[in-house]
Amino acid sequence: MTDVPPNPTAPVGPHRILLGLNTFGDVGEHADGSPQLHAKVLRNLLEQAELADAVGLHAFGVGEHHRKDYAVSAPEVFLAAAAARTTRIRLGSAVTVLSSDDPIRVFQRFATVDALSNGRAEVMLGRGSFIESFPLFGLDLADYEVLFEEKLELFDKVRAQKPVHWDGRTRPALAGLSVYPPLEHHLLPTWIGVGGTPESVLRCAQYGYPIIFAIIGGQPRAFRPLVDLYREAMAKYGHPMQQVATHSPGHVAATDEQAREELFPHWLKLRNKLGAERGWGPAGRGEFDALCAPEGALYVGSPETVARKIVELKQNLGVDRFDFKYSNGPLPHSAMMRSIELLGTQVAPRVAELLAENDRPAN
Amino acid sequence: MTDVPPNPTAPVGPHRILLGLNTFGDVGEHADGSPQLHAKVLRNLLEQAELADAVGLHAFGVGEHHRKDYAVSAPEVFLAAAAARTTRIRLGSAVTVLSSDDPIRVFQRFATVDALSNGRAEVMLGRGSFIESFPLFGLDLADYEVLFEEKLELFDKVRAQKPVHWDGRTRPALAGLSVYPPLEHHLLPTWIGVGGTPESVLRCAQYGYPIIFAIIGGQPRAFRPLVDLYREAMAKYGHPMQQVATHSPGHVAATDEQAREELFPHWLKLRNKLGAERGWGPAGRGEFDALCAPEGALYVGSPETVARKIVELKQNLGVDRFDFKYSNGPLPHSAMMRSIELLGTQVAPRVAELLAENDRPAN
């Protein structure tokens, strides 16, 4: 039999931070204005995952969308291909829109990725900030809350790998059926992805799952009360402590200026496209520069700048893991590959060095 | 842009037959009686797919089940891993139980496999001969027919890659939504897997899809009227002709005796397990030997024996493709690997040779 590996979502301690990557597989245009092919974007993603593995990053996650502008609608299908081409990196979703999926199918797909990756699968469950999956799968947006609540309850029972007894109003009941294939090692590592509401934080703690906060605007340090709330609630519920992570967009290049200039046009286009859909006012360079500043939520700059910002995050929020969303608007594949390489080969070791330095005076 | 490849399901002509492989990922016991791990079976499957690709076989298909005794519940997740490890072989399901799945999700997952495999995905849709997915996904067996009919109609509309307008009773309506990612080349190759009823044959022809008959008992030549019915119905509906295939179990070893002795205990165990579930009487060596005889539905023997039987199939039914189900009960991984290797390196060239010989006198 295979050795059981240690719990992959146990906290990592005060002087360490795990670095992961996220992408939604943004689909854009070539330099000549012709549209990119979704299929080509998916093949580029596979190269990005291979590079992330090769440079030693901790995790690679793909987010589920059902829109023309993102290539990933079936995260686990992509992750299985990544499993076959990588050896160390953890493979996950960021996030799986559980509300509009079937918890049994989600478990089966991730269990299959887990088998094919020798125990490297993880799932991040969320309600999704996009809502296009509701009409597509015939769901009513009025059930936004109850769908997530009930499906999370069912998923948690399936994950326990015992015959499932469940009853609710959003899906027919289950009376003692088992779900296959089972996992080989521990329970499937399962995160809850949250925006910034106390209810979401408490729901995550109720299940005892690790938590990941999406911080895509404002200041990361403003999430301190929610991080504290999670840790207090986990203790109150009597769960063993789990990892706390944040996810934010970023881009790394040789210099701060290069990173900002490369990213800005893509960031602006994406920001204003989403803004038009969601009723935000148009953004400009001022907003971008504020987000890139030391207090902002964008991790953009040279390896040194980004490393210092990640260390700051560790100091402010005490997080165990930081997931860097390296696709922010359809940046060229080559620029994303360089960003990933710099993150693994320069940012990660520099973060470790800075955390070790910070450690010394305290001793 | 990429060149558009020729239609992969066009008929191959009278002197050729394509050879594919199928498996359900049977989970059994080790020689010492301890249970196999589902995860290990999935990893073995990946090696089997790699070998099938290396020896030049045409297609590799995995069947969807939701039972303890089969490891594949999420075919496309497995197929994506196989896509990342192979270069030529077509990758499909055998079958996808469409009745209990969502046609939009099925399309999305196969479209993702298609992208990752550079256009090698194919789906076989069926109602499934096992029914465990109905209670698991909260469906009523009384809807067995209407679920398949309606979901096939919806799948066909999604496959056309235009905004989908659909209305039915087994799923909420769709009013003009698009489904992503789109395919790069042709329409997704889509087969209908049928047992042996004229209704199923006519339904397949109505959609103009290629057809595959599961022939797991009796005599393959008895399917001649159904093959004729398919071709007549395709012509009547005005569809361009598509491939006709059959799927049957088999095992190849160095000699006829070795192949039969290796397979028999596993065949018997599986046959009697399914028989107990379905109310068949117990089987024995007599039934097995009759199925292995030249007229029977089992393709078991030396490369020469199996090649001659496949040529006979071509002559009797005029099929374009034969899918060999190489896992029949949990045969040892090593025996299945040898069977695959012999099929690719000895059976396939011998079949080509025999078909060429048959061709000569006719000229």
Q: Which of B43, B108, B116 is the best substitution to test chain A (most A C-beta atoms within 10 A)?
A: B116
* CB proximity list for B228: less than 8 A, separation 6 or greater: none
- Cα B85 to Cα A240, A244, A337, B31, B336: the distances in Å are 39, 35, 22, 29, 19
Q: Which of B136, B137, B147, B150 is the best substitution to test chain A (most A C-beta atoms within 10 A)?
A: B136
Longest Cα separation, chain A: 60
Q: Residue A62: phi, psi to the nearest 5? A: -120, 135
Q: Which amino acid is at A203?
A: R
Q: Are B39 and B72 in contact (CB under 8 A)?
A: no
Indicate the SS3 state at residue A322.
strand
A104-120 pLDDT, tens digit per residue, is: 999 999 999 999 999 99
- Minimal-distance CA residue of chain B relative to A73: B108
- Minimal-distance CA residue of chain A relative to B50: A84
- Minimal-distance CA residue of chain B relative to A171: B138
Please indicate if any CB of chain B lies within 8 Å of the CB of A349: no
- Minimal-distance CA residue of chain B relative to A182: B38
Q: Report pLDDT for A158.
A: 98
Partner residue facing B37 (CB), from A108, A109, A184: A184
A307-353 pLDDT, tens digit per residue, is: 999 999 999 999 999 999 999 888 999 999 999 999 999 999 999 99
Residue A97: cis peptide before it, omega within 30 degrees of 0: no
- Encoded tokens for A194: 């949250």
Partner residue facing A181 (CB), from B73, B138, B173: B73
Please indicate if any CB of chain B lies within 8 Å of the CB of A265: no
B/e letters for A93-105, b = 16+ CB within 10 Å, e = fewer, are bbbbbbbbbbbbb
* CB proximity list for B244: less than 8 A, separation 6 or greater: B11, B210, B211, B212, B213, B227, B230, B231, B317, B318, B319, B320, B321
Partner residue facing B71 (CB), from A171, A181, A183: A181
A240 DSSP 8-state letter: P
* CB proximity list for B360: less than 8 A, separation 6 or greater: none
**Closest C-alpha to A187, from A114, A245, A80, A244:** A114
Please indicate if any CB of chain A lies within 8 Å of the CB of B180: yes
Distance from CA of A131 to the nearest CA of B (A): 13
Please indicate if any CB of chain B lies within 8 Å of the CB of A42: yes
Strand partners, A177: A164
A220 DSSP 8-state letter: G
Work out the number of other CB atoms within 10 angstroms of the CB of residue B289. 14
Determine, for residues B180 and A71 on separate chains, whether the beta-carbon distance falls below 8 Å. yes
Q: Report pLDDT for B360.
A: 66
Partner residue facing B181 (CB), from A73, A76, A135: A73
| Residue recorded with tokens 């209990």 | B100
Q: Are B75 and B113 in contact (CB under 8 A)?
A: no
Q: Return the half-sphere exposure (C-beta side, CA atoms, 13 A cut-off) of residue B57.
A: 29
Strands B90-93 and B299-301 come out as unpaired
Per-residue confidence band for A2, with pLDDT thresholds at 50, 70 and 90: very low
A228-285 pLDDT, tens digit per residue, is: 999 999 999 999 999 999 999 999 999 999 999 999 999 999 999 999 999 999 999 9
Partner residue facing A184 (CB), from B39, B116, B138: B39
Determine, for residues A181 and B38 on separate chains, whether the beta-carbon distance falls below 8 Å. yes
* CB proximity list for A93: less than 8 A, separation 6 or greater: A61, A62, A63, A64, A75, A76, A79, A123, A124
Q: Report pLDDT for A1.
A: 39
Q: What residues of A are in contact with residue B70 (Cβ under 8 Å)? A: 180
Work out the number of other CB atoms within 10 angstroms of the CB of residue A206. 17
Per-residue confidence band for A189, with pLDDT thresholds at 50, 70 and 90: very high
If residue A150 lies in a helix (H) or strand (E), which one and from where to where?
helix A144-159
Q: Report pLDDT for B1.
A: 39
Q: Which residues of chain B have pLDDT under 50?
A: 1-2, 362-363
Distance from CA of A130 to the nearest CA of B (A): 15
Determine the Cα–Cα distance for residues B96 and B132; give it in Å rounded to an integer.
13
Q: Are B207 and B242 in contact (CB under 8 A)?
A: no
Determine the Cα–Cα distance for residues B187 and B196; give it in Å rounded to an integer.
27
Distance from CA of B165 to the nearest CA of A (A): 11
Please indicate if any CB of chain B lies within 8 Å of the CB of A345: no
Determine, for residues B112 and A70 on separate chains, whether the beta-carbon distance falls below 8 Å. no
Query: What mean pLDDT comes out for the span A295-308?
Result: 98
Please indicate if any CB of chain A lies within 8 Å of the CB of B154: no
| Residue recorded with tokens 């089987």 | B283
| Residue recorded with tokens 């094919």 | A116
A:76-135 residues touching chain B, CB 8 A cutoff:
76-85, 102, 104-105, 108-109, 111-116, 118, 135
Q: Report pLDDT for A82.
A: 98
Please indicate if any CB of chain B lies within 8 Å of the CB of A177: yes
Burial group, residue A289, by CB count within 10 angstroms (0-12, 13-18, 19+): middle
Burial group, residue B176, by CB count within 10 angstroms (0-12, 13-18, 19+): exposed
Determine, for residues B73 and A180 on separate chains, whether the beta-carbon distance falls below 8 Å. yes
Three state DSSP letters for chain B:
CCCCCCCCCCCCCCCCCEEEEEECCECCECCCCCECCHHHHHHHHHHHHHHHHHCCCCEEEECCCCCCCECCCCHHHHHHHHHHHCCCCEEEECCEEHHHCCHHHHHHHHHHHHHHCCCCEEEEEECCCCCCHHHHCCCCHHHHHHHHHHHHHHHHHHHCCCCEEECCCCCCCEEEECCCCCCCCCCCCEEEEECCCHHHHHHHHHHCCCEEEECCCCCHHHHHHHHHHHHHHHHHHCCCCCCEEEEEEEEECCCHHHHHHHHHHHHHHHHHHHHHHHCCCCCCHHHHHHHHCCCCCCEEECHHHHHHHHHHHHHHHCCCEEEEECCCCCCCHHHHHHHHHHHHHHHHHHHHHHHHHHHHHHC
| Residue recorded with tokens 């030997």 | B289
ipTM: 0.97
Distance from CA of A208 to the nearest CA of B (A): 26
A343 DSSP 8-state letter: I
Q: Report pLDDT for A99.
A: 96
Q: Report pLDDT for B304.
A: 98
Query: What mean pLDDT comes out for the span A88-99?
Result: 97
**Would you say how long chain A is, in residues?**
363
Q: What residues of A are in contact with residue B93 (Cβ under 8 Å)? A: none
Q: Report pLDDT for B267.
A: 95
- Encoded tokens for A317: 């929020």
Q: Are B103 and B135 in contact (CB under 8 A)?
A: no
Longest Cα separation, chain B: 60
Distance from CA of B171 to the nearest CA of A (A): 7
Partner residue facing B81 (CB), from A40, A116, A184: A116
Strand partners, A112: none
Determine the Cα–Cα distance for residues B155 and B139; give it in Å rounded to an integer.
18
Partner residue facing A84 (CB), from B85, B102, B173: B85
Q: Report pLDDT for A3.
A: 53
**Closest C-alpha to B252, from B244, B263, B236, B267:** B263
Determine the Cα–Cα distance for residues B27 and B29; give it in Å rounded to an integer.
7
- Cα A243 to Cα A312, A318, A359, B164: the distances in Å are 18, 10, 20, 42
Residue B95: cis peptide before it, omega within 30 degrees of 0: yes
Work out the number of other CB atoms within 10 angstroms of the CB of residue B251. 30
Spell out the domains of chain B, with CATH numbers in brackets: 18-362 (3.20.20.30)
Determine, for residues A80 and B85 on separate chains, whether the beta-carbon distance falls below 8 Å. no
Q: What residues of B are in contact with residue A115 (Cβ under 8 Å)? A: 38-40, 42-43, 71
